[in-house]
Amino acid sequence: MVLASNLGYPRIGEKREWKFTLEKFWRHDIDEAEFAKRTKAIRLEALKKQQAAGIDVIPVADYSNYDHVLDTSVAFNAIPKRFGNFDHQLSLTEYFAIARGTKDHVAAEMTKWFNTNYHYIVPELDDVNFKLLDNPWLTRYLEAKAELGIDGKPVILGPVTFLKLSKLHDAHLTTAELIPLLNQLLPLYQQVVKELAANGVEWIQLDEPSLVTLTDPKQLQLYRQALAAIRAAAPELKVELQTYFERPDYLEDILNFDVDAFGFDFVHDHGTLLPELKALGFPAGKILAAGIIDGRNVWRSDFSQKTELIKDLLTVVDSDHLWLQPSNSLLHVPITTKNETHLDPTIKAGIAFADEKLGELKVLTDFANDKDVAAEIDQQQAALQALNTSEHRNNPEVKRAVDAMLQSKVERHSPYKQRVVAQESLDLPLLPTTTIGSFPQSKEVRAKRLAWRKKQISDGEYKDFIKQETKRWINIQEDLGLDVLVHGEFERTDMVEYFGQKFSGFYATDNGWVQSYGSRCVRPPLIFGDVSWSEPITVDETVYAQSLTKKPVKGMLTSAVTIINWSFVRDDLPKNIVADQIGLALRHEVKALEDAGIRIIQVDEPALREGLPLKAKYRQAYLDNAVEAFKITTTGVKDSTQVHTHMCYSDFEDILPAISALDADVISIETSRSHGESIKAFENVTYDKQIGLGVYDIHSPRVPSVEEIKQNIHRALQVIDVHQFWINPDCGLKTRNEPEAIAALKNMVQATDEVRAEVSVGAV
Ligand SMILES: CN1c2c(nc(N)[nH]c2=O)NC[C@@H]1CNc1ccc(C(=O)N[C@@H](CCC(=O)N[C@@H](CCC(=O)N[C@@H](CCC(=O)O)C(=O)O)C(=O)O)C(=O)O)cc1
Ligand SMILES: N[C@@H](CCS)C(=O)O
Ligand SMILES: [Zn+2]
């Protein structure tokens, strides 16, 4: 019989109960016991739903109190020494200190999980002494068994991927560094699986997603060695080797690995896996765990295509050796569409969040087992047909406008060298100081927005409140002595969602939350149709802010590619076309800002790097499109208008040519949380435009000292010319509270003044 299997379920709870529980604990509103009670209820609720949906193979231990990579680190005592030496399972306070930092210690680095908007805590392996402090996989297995009778499949991050995600001496590990660490780590994995097997666990899901990015076939041996160690320690335990987000290369070698099931992603494989499996043949007696439902997007599956795929899969394995799964953990999609009460029924019928995806999985598994699901299939196909033929998706005017744009020259009027002269009228000092855009989204700001959304206050009252906040913060920025000011983004819930609320073709969900980092969640909007601009979106707020000061105020927009990467994008059109549509809509907004007298416009591009395809062969086309869409947005302005862009959490080295090709006059980039590694990217290249390498980490509540900021500036000035350098924090300040934000900015301005003084006497 074909089985339905899942890989992971969102941890945040249907109403974000998880987020609120974490934050209550951090505020000391609840204690450890209450935290444990609440989070257990959230876990059990998720398991019950999967059970009720008829999922045969249910994942356990996919849950985390913050991040599953951090959980793996703390289980194995891979804990940075600054947080102490441990010989016990960490308390919650000790665990959260690593994730969030403390007054005395910077938080561990955080970065993107493959090409997603989920962030993991990077294991730092300097001087670590691996030992098993905890076996959370066993605890969670036993809990599901005792409470719900679920014989779950513990999800374990595989040892090779764990090490590849880690850092040693501020850099990713070389193979020579990885081998001895793997040798030290494997006995601990052996202990874990021994304990699991001894407690009756039948299957584990060993996630080794790094197999899909593997480019050196010599490293296959590392995975082989790890699997052999696990097999030797627990011969009776069955192992599902799970990959996702792409397909692995070296398939022939991988199919020879000693495991019981191979979990492959058949959604993000560019259609290449099945033909290759057919040609190679699938090893007898093994399970093919086929990810056939898109775990990264929310459109309902095309059942006619999926049923054909299932028939094809059944030519590769028999029905007793096929599991059907989502392509990856459902962590990356919201939980349920049932709370989307304002959504056009045609669109609602066309989307599936985690729970609806489990429903699809059940229908497809029933289909594979020859059950009669014709009615369910017909209903879904009719819904998709209705969405695809709706006028939302067929606006000839949008198509005509994009085609016309692409026929014209999509370049600034003059090269940078000339523009920089035209921009001297901005009259900025050496080492101009600025911020990235957002200021604290305080309780009060959010409460007012909630009251407005619930119609408890009028549009006018809400607008007045936003104006008040803007004015207050313009004054604060003036008092701090910043050079380029911002309006503060108080009117925005989120930099992507906000535009989703304004452009046609978008729908901003009511409750479509997805975890981004720690307790922080985002609501990616749906891009369901053709996108166009009808009226100014950001002009009122920006012009108001500019009216309050003589200093330049930066207009603040989010680029097309970032909007795409942080939204759920229609899957009936190639993404590059959607990007061009959004790029053009934003071009109108840029023009409107310039016409209204705004002289600096920032178009944020934080997700450019994250969306880079995992396989090198697809990257150039992606980057070309990103540059095209960015230029569609930014090239309609005068030479004297300064275009900024901003990126955070990036490994830049491999995309520097594309960054330069964006042709932005100024770029600001995150640096601090990667401990200066991003600065190295500029060591061997000449970057000819202006750049701000973030001088302090904004993700931690910790206020950086003047000295520390100066050190960061000095380090950057070793590779960037002082005349090209800007001073700014790593990213926006929306997650900080007001005293923290002000104290840090005060130190930043003082550090800048001190460095300026050093420059004037030739000390730098
Ligand atoms: C720069 N980053 C972003 C990413 N992705 C995005 N789409 N946007 C980004 O800015 N990816 C990388 C990083 C990730 N960074 C962050 C930073 C901060 C957050 C965050 O703070 N998220 C908030 C939710 C933000 C929001 O939309 N708030 C709403 C309030 C909604 C709400 O909770 N309302 C409640 C009541 C009010 C309350 O109790 O607060 C309700 O309706 O009941 C708003 O501002 O109106 C978070 O809290 O998680 C995310 C990613
Ligand atoms: N302008 C945005 C960029 C975040 S990446 C902000 O400041 O929040
Ligand atoms: Zn940022």
The mean pLDDT value for 213-235 works out to: 98
This prediction has a pTM of 0.94
Average confidence (pLDDT) over 55-81:
97
Kindly report the protein residue whose alpha carbon is nearest to atom 33 of ligand 1: 446
Q: Judge whether residue 678 has pLDDT over 80.
A: no
**Atom 5 (ligand 2) nearest CA:** 606
Question: Comparing C-alpha atoms, which of 364, 224, 383, 242 is closest to residue 306?
Answer: 364
What angle is formed at CA 749 by the lines to CA 748 and CA 754, rounded to 5 degrees? 100
Ligand lying closest to the C-alpha of residue 434? 2
Give the pLDDT score at 673.
58
**Alpha-carbon gap, residue 677 to 749, rounded angstroms:** 23
pLDDT (average), residues 666-674? 81
Q: What is the mean pLDDT of residues 517-529?
A: 97
Which pLDDT band, with edges at 50, 70 and 90, does 126 fall under?
A: very high
CA 522 – ligand 1 centroid, Å: 5
Question: Which residue in 169, 699, 714, 723 is the catalytic one?
Answer: 699
One DSSP character per residue, 334-381 reads -S-GGG-TTS-HHHHTTB--HHHHHHHHHHHHHHHTT---HHHHHHHH
Let me know if residue 576 belongs to a domain: yes
Query: Whose alpha carbon is nearest atom 1 of ligand 2?
Result: 437
With respect to residue 124, please indicate whether it lies within any of the assigned structural domains.
Answer: no
- Only one residue has tokens 């997700």, namely 607
Task: State yes or no: pLDDT of 680 exceeds 80.
Answer: no
DSSP 704: P
Domain-located, residue 718: yes
Split at pLDDT 50, 70, 90, the class of 98 is very high
Helices 738-760 + 706-717 axis angle, to 10: 50
Give the range of the structural domain holding residue 588, as residue numbers without chain letter: 401-442+481-760
482: three-class secondary structure by DSSP: coil
Q: Is 604 labeled as ligand-binding?
A: yes
What pLDDT score was predicted for residue 711? 95
108 pLDDT more than 80: yes
Nearest ligand to the CA atom of 489: 2
Instruction: Report the atom number in ligand 2 closest to the C-alpha of 438.
Output: 7
- The verdict on the CB of residue 165 being under 6 Å from ligand 2 is no
User: Could you read off the pLDDT of 463-519 as tens digits, one per residue?
Assistant: 999 999 999 999 999 999 999 999 999 999 999 999 999 999 999 999 999 999 999
Q: What is the number of structural domains in the chain? A: 1
Nearest to 153 by CA among 257, 296, 8: 8
Residue at 534 is within a domain? yes
Asked if residue 276 has pLDDT above 80, the reply is yes
CB 645 within 8 A of CB 603: yes
Give domain status of residue 104, yes or no.
Answer: no
Task: Compute the average pLDDT of residues 349-370.
Answer: 98
Percent of the chain surpassing pLDDT 90: 93
Burial 370-401 (b: 16+ CB within 10 A, else e): eeebeebbeebeebbeebeeeebeebeebeeb
Task: Tell whether the model's pLDDT for residue 278 goes beyond 90.
Answer: yes
Active site residue 119: no
Q: What's the pLDDT score for residue 388?
A: 94
Give the DSSP per-residue string, 655-670: GHHHHHHT--SEEEE-
Query: Is residue 42 within 8 Å of residue 18, measured between CB atoms?
Result: yes
- Least confident stretch, 203-207, 582-586, 717-721, 738-742: 717-721
| 178 touches ligand 2 (CB under 6 Å) | no
Average pLDDT estimate for 43-70: 98
In this structure, the residue with its CA closest to atom 6 of ligand 2 is: 732
φ, ψ dihedrals at 496, nearest 5°: -105, -45
pLDDT at position 746, please?
98
The mean pLDDT value for 450-475 works out to 97
Q: What is the CATH number of the domain that holds 747?
A: 3.20.20.210
SS3 693: strand
What is the spatial distance between Cα 310 and Cα 406, in angstroms, rounded to a whole number? 40
Nearest residue to 94 (alpha-carbon basis) of 68, 65, 120, 69: 65
Q: How far is the CA of 417 from the centre of ligand 3 (A)?
A: 27
What is the structure's pLDDT at 677?
Answer: 66
- Which residue CA neighbors atom 8 of ligand 2 most closely? 732
Residue range 149-161: mean pLDDT, rounded: 98
Mean pLDDT of 340-363: 96
Nearest-atom number in ligand 2 for the CA of 437 is 7
| Residue reference for tokens 């049932």 | 338
User: Does residue 649 surpass a pLDDT of 70?
Assistant: no
Instruction: Name the residue among 570, 626, 675 with its Cα closest to residue 302.
Output: 570
399 is in an annotated binding site: no
Task: Note the ipTM here.
Answer: 0.95
Is pLDDT above 90 for 560?
yes
Tell me the average pLDDT across 599-628.
96
Q: Is 648 touching ligand 2 by the criterion CB < 6 Å?
A: yes
Q: How many CB atoms lie within 10 A of CB 236?
A: 9
Q: Is the CB of 734 under 6 A from ligand 2?
A: yes
State the virtual CA torsion across 108, 111, 114, 119 in degrees, nearest 10. 80
**Is 494:522 a contact under the CB 8 Å cutoff?**
yes
Given a cut of 90, is residue 314 above it in pLDDT?
yes
Q: Can you tell me the mean pLDDT for 721-728?
A: 96
Evaluate if residue 423 carries a pLDDT over 80.
Answer: yes
Indicate if the pLDDT at residue 421 is higher than 70: yes
Alpha-carbon distance of 231 to 214, in angstroms, equals 23
253 vs 648, more confident:
253
pLDDT band at 675 (very low <50, low <70, confident <90, very high): low
Residue 650 binned pLDDT confidence (cut-offs 50, 70, 90): low
Q: How many CB atoms lie within 10 A of CB 249?
A: 18
> Residue range 588-614: average pLDDT?
97
Q: Is residue 465 part of a domain?
A: no
Assess if residue 460 is contained within a domain.
no
8 Å CB contact between 99 and 70: yes
User: What average pLDDT score do residues 207-220 get?
Assistant: 98
The strand pair at 171-172 and 203-207 is best described as unpaired
pLDDT above 80: residue 739: yes
d(CA 618, CA 607): 17
- Would the annotation count 177 as a binding residue? no
Residue 653 within a domain = yes
Q: What is the mean pLDDT of residues 284-291?
A: 98
Q: What is the mean pLDDT of the chain?
A: 96
